Chain A
Amino acid sequence: MSAPSETFLGFPAFPEAAHDAVRDRELRRTMRHATHTIRDKRARAVAELADWDELRTAGAQLKERTLRHLPHYLEQLEEAVTRAGGTVHWAADAAEANRIVAELVRETGEQEVVKVKSMATQEIGLNEALAAEDITAYETDLAELIVQLGRDRPSHILVPAIHRDRRQIQEIFRERMADWGRTAPENLTDDPVQLAEAARLHLREKFLNARVAVSGANFMIAETGTMVVVESEGNGRMCLTLPDTLITVAGIEKVVPTWRDLEVFLQTLPRSSTAERMNPYTSTWTGTTDGDGPRAFHLVLLDNGRTDTLADQVGRQALRCIRCSACLNVCPVYERTGGHAYGSVYPGPIGAVLTPQLHGIQSEVGASLPYASSLCGACYDVCPVAIDIPEVLVHLRERIAEQGGKGHRLEKAAVNAAGWVLNHPRALEVGERLASLTRRLQPKRLPGPGAAQWTRSRDLPELPARSFRAWWKENR
């Protein structure tokens, strides 16, 4: 039985993972090209809307209000889904959610399921859990397929194979497609059109044979019990309509009160994620309908750390996230390390605030993520639901510092010592004078943890002959 891959097992803390990532030239080139392209496109798509700021505020407020009354909307949702012929299951954590889904699949007697791309099922490690029960899950999103065939990890929320270039994709298709079904065409090149066609043929077989599908949901509408999936490739539409049984796994924060609320998000989500004015496919379904689509519908509502996150006054805003990935695409850190360095299915700025909250700050990965940011604020600027990611990062750093542990005890002592000096200007003046007097003796590269980290790649400025304070005293 594989453990839920909440953080990738055995992954090192961020700084160590990043050490190798920033030296991988091919990765750097691929990531730079991909993030800059989508970043610029998004900026143009957003600039088209004169009321973007209002939409952003409305999105944030809608989510805030829903989160404040979450139990109410969830009960309303459960009622509506049940009324429409669906069944609602509540899962407190990843293990429970996996158990429920595996059981539901077993009841159908099937051993294969097709999947619509979904972050929630990634979060709980559903594919691995199903594999342990001899159930094979086929990913049908193109990028997700590339990751699955390549026995790889996703590195982006929207484009899980963003770290792969087309030559690598060609190789993966040629070598691995046969193991999972229809073989790649003989003379497959790295032409994107050919690659997409190979994937289409490979996947078509899966759709036509599948009796069970697993999806996530972008939104769940409480008033009617309607699920909403927003996608670009049409694979989702296939999975959601062809099979007999549909199982949807979604985080409890995905609920919105009414259909009207979609007005905001269906404008902000596509422009933020793919830089499109409108995404090609928006599927909505409500329970089951005789003679149309799946005959059984199950909704698994996933908590997995969300209620705990909700209790944190500062950190809870992370639950507004609509997984558009704009913050990843604009992040200078993510651009240089890629997604794997974050050691979790949620990479980039949102991952740095979500992973430690959902899964705790006790693990080394969890405790390192809130520091994986220069606090440049680009993520907050682009976020369509105005999550102040830097604010949450600093807040989580506070929680980590309070928890103590590796490195933080020394740091705290240093902060306290500095605090004393900074509260005694006279001592500061003496310190500055001493530093100036001995400046010729100070080496350009320093030993010791913090200082060595600086001087390994950067020179230190030579200290001035006198401080500003001293100059002022002499001259004014």
Chain B
Amino acid sequence: MRIALFVTCVNDAAFPSAGIATVRLLERLGCQVDFPPAQTCCGQPQYNTGYRKATEPLVHRMAEAFDGYDHIVAPSGSCAAMVRDNYPRMGRRAAAEGRGEALNRAAEALVPRMYELTEFLVDVLGRTEVGAYFPHSVTYHPSCHGLRLLRLGDRPHRLLEAVEGLELRELPNAEECCGFGGTFAVKNADVSTAMGIDKVKSAVGTGAEVLCGADNSCLMHLGGILRRHDQPQRPLHLAEILAATREEPLDPYVPDPYVPAEPTRTPRADTRPDQPPRSSTA
């Protein structure tokens, strides 16, 4: 079984620990993982902003980079969903526009082999217990694309529940979007932030030490809000929790990428669409 890691561009450049954790986890479970260096980005940000044709070369790049592997595993629900949901759509559009079947073929070559991490663990490897150890309280935010496009269902919960020492706390209104939404986060920053603050309030309200997710782009947005409001809750990718063991434990309190180089300033009143989340720790 030849397994390729599609680390995704966000993880590659900004959150390598999620990629490293995925490699360690899969290797611990007996998989041989490869990282084809020709991979870059699935093209989701460009596509969702309206640049479909500019995204097409990346579909071909993905197909070539991952050619020959049995399974492609991505520690990101939204990038896996981009490939599975939008690549075929792009292929159909290109064909309908009289531009041939090449894009369709590239999409078809990728779709059946593309897995989000929890799908791969539960459906392909048949594992919910992965030998992880993480003695902390955790709440899980199921990002929209994992929830509604991939229909990951309770896979992440089953994996987390099986982690030794982990206490899973229910996130209220879990199915609600966190407000990241790619370029939405900057094009409609006010609404995006208002949504993020509500999500962070729910998460902080659980009293959990860790806010876990399977999409680092959402966690970057939520983590940015947590930091801005000096909340100690730590955003953490699911792969990092599953990679942690008794032998190689993960301390959620060690400095993480969100620790600012300088102390955060209190935001000006007009930058806050709503109350900071600190009130909801009670």
List A residues at the B interface (Cβ < 8 Å). Answer: 14-15, 18-19, 22-23, 25, 28, 313, 332-333, 336-337, 371-378, 380-381, 391, 394, 396-402, 411-412, 415-416, 418-419, 421-423, 425, 428, 432, 435, 440, 444, 449-451, 453-454, 456-464, 466-472, 476
B23 within 8 A of A: yes
Contact between chains at A397 and B221 (CB < 8 Å):
no
Contact A468 B261 (CB under 8 A): no
CA distance A396 to B49 in the complex (A): 10
CB proximity of A218 to chain B, nearest CB, Å: 28
Known: A374-B180, A454-B185, A457-B272. A444 touches B264 (CB 8 A): yes
Tell me which residues across on chain B come within 8 A of A454, comparing CB atoms: 185-186, 189, 224
| Given known contacts A444-B261, A457-B271, A450 and B186 CB-to-CB distance under 8 angstroms | yes
Rank and list the top 5 A-B pairs by shortest CB-CB distance, nearest first: A374-B181, A458-B224, A397-B50, A376-B177, A468-B16
Main SS at interface, chain A: helix
Within the complex, which residue of B23, B144, B198, B262 is in contact with A444, where a contact is CB–CB below 8 Å?
B262
Q: Are B7 and A468 in contact (CB under 8 A)?
A: yes
Q: A15-B189, A336-B198, A412-B51 are in contact. List 15 more A-B contacts (CB 8 A).
A: A15-B190, A18-B190, A22-B273, A374-B177, A374-B179, A378-B144, A394-B50, A396-B50, A418-B46, A451-B186, A458-B225, A459-B227, A459-B258, A461-B224, A469-B37
State whether B12 touches A376 (Cβ < 8 A). Answer: no
In the assembly, what is the distance between CA of A15 and CA of B189, in Å? Answer: 8
Whether A377 and B144, one on each chain, are in contact in the complex, defined by CB atoms closer than 8 angstroms, is yes
| Contact for A415 among B9, B54, B149, CB less than 8 A | B54
Report A347 CB to chain B, min CB distance, Å: 13
Instruction: Determine whether the beta carbon of A374 is less than 8 Å from that of B144.
Output: yes
B51 and A467: CB pair below 8 A? no
User: B46 touching A415 by the CB < 8 A rule?
Assistant: yes
**In this assembly, does B48 line the interface, its C-beta being within 8 Å of a C-beta of chain A?**
yes
Contact of B271 among A381, A397, A456 (CB under 8 A): A456
- A332-B179 in contact given A377-B148, A457-B225 (Cβ < 8 Å): yes
Query: Which residue of chain A has the shortest Cβ distance to B16 in the bound complex?
Result: A468
Contact between A458 and B193, CB atoms less than 8 A apart: yes
- Report, as a range, how many residues of chain B touch the other chain: 35 or more
Shortest CB-to-CB span from B205 to chain A, Å, is: 15
Instruction: Tell me whether A432 and B181 are in contact (CB under 8 A).
Output: no
**Within 8 Å of chain A (Cβ to Cβ): is B94?**
no
Q: How far is the CA of A418 from the CA of B273 in the complex (A)?
A: 32
Most buried by A among B58, B183, B192, B221: B192
Question: Which residues of chain A are near B189, meaning CB under 8 Å?
Answer: 15, 453-454, 456-457
Q: Cα distance A432–B40 when bound, in Å?
A: 12
Within 8 A of A (CB), among B147-164: 148-149
15 chain-A/chain-B pairs, Cβ below 8 angstroms: A332-B195, A336-B194, A371-B188, A374-B180, A376-B148, A397-B50, A412-B51, A425-B39, A457-B228, A459-B224, A461-B220, A461-B258, A463-B14, A469-B37, A476-B23
Within the complex, the shortest CB–CB distance from B227 to chain A, in Å, comes to 4
Q: A454-B186, A467-B16, A476-B35 are in contact. Are A378 and B177 (CB under 8 A)?
A: yes
- Chain B residues near A412: list those with CB within 8 A: 51
CA distance A449 to B189 in the complex (A): 11
Q: What's the Cα separation between A423 and B9 when bound, in Å? A: 12
Question: Is B267 an interface position by the 8 A CB rule?
Answer: yes
Q: With A and B bound together, what is the CA distance between A457 and B271 in angstroms?
A: 6
CB closest residue in chain B, given A426: B37
Name the contact of B57 in the complex, choosing from A423, A453, A468 (C-beta under 8 A). Answer: A423
Question: Is A458's CB under 8 angstroms from B190's CB?
Answer: no
Collect the chain A residues with CB atoms within 8 Å of residue B264's CB.
Answer: 444, 459
B49-93 at interface with A (beta carbon < 8 Å): 49-52, 54-55, 57-58, 61, 89
* Interface check B250, CB cutoff 8 A: no
Instruction: List the A side residues contacting B267 at CB < 8 Å.
Output: 457
Contact check, B58 vs A423: say whether CB atoms are below 8 A apart. Answer: yes
Centre residue among B11, B13, B58, B259 by max chain A CB count within 10 A: B13
Contact across chains for A377 and B149 when beta carbons are under 8 A apart? yes
Minimum CB–CB distance from A66 to chain B (whole Å) comes to 22
CB distance from A407 to the nearest CB of B (A): 9
B96 within 8 A of A: yes
CB distance from A389 to the nearest CB of B (A): 12
Q: Among B55, B194, B258, point to the contact of A22 (Cβ < 8 A).
A: B194
Tell me whether B40 and A423 are in contact (CB under 8 A).
Answer: yes
Bound-state CA distance A227–B39 (Å) is 57
Question: Closest residue of chain A to B18, judged by CB?
Answer: A468
Q: Given A371-B188, A457-B267, does the pair A419, B54 have CB atoms closer than 8 Å?
A: yes
Rounded to whole angstroms, the CA-CA distance of A468 and B40 in the bound complex is: 12
| Across-interface contacts of A470 in B (CB, < 8 A) | 16
- List residues of B (23-55) whose CB comes within 8 Å of A's CBs: 23, 35, 37-41, 43, 46-52, 54-55
With contacts A425-B40, A468-B7 known, is A374 near B184, CB below 8 A? yes
From residue A338, how far is it (CB to closest CB) to chain B in Å? 11
